[in-house]
Amino acid sequence: MSADETKLALRLYKWAKRKKLKPDTTTMLLEYGLGMPAERPLIPDVRFDINMRDADAILSFRFDVAG
């Protein structure tokens, strides 16, 4: 990202914050103004899975990733 693009992004962000725009609208404006999409954070598909019916099984739980 060049210095001009950085200045444009900063000005656009400050303007959107001053106008109290929604975060989705701000992201859309930045993507349009800079011509590049913002990276979305990687969120793994993690589910909490309890297979044991025993209430005393403290360490028997498992985290099941993508499944």
Domain boundaries, the chain: 3-34
Q: What is the mean pLDDT of the chain?
A: 72
Cα(25)–Cα(38) distance, integer angstroms: 12
Query: 33-60, pLDDT tens digit by residue?
Result: 777 666 777 777 766 666 656 555 555 5
Q: In Å, how far are 21, 30, 45, 55, 58 from 52, measured between CA atoms?
A: 47, 48, 22, 8, 10
Q: What pTM does this model have?
A: 0.43
Longest dimension (CA), the chain: 62
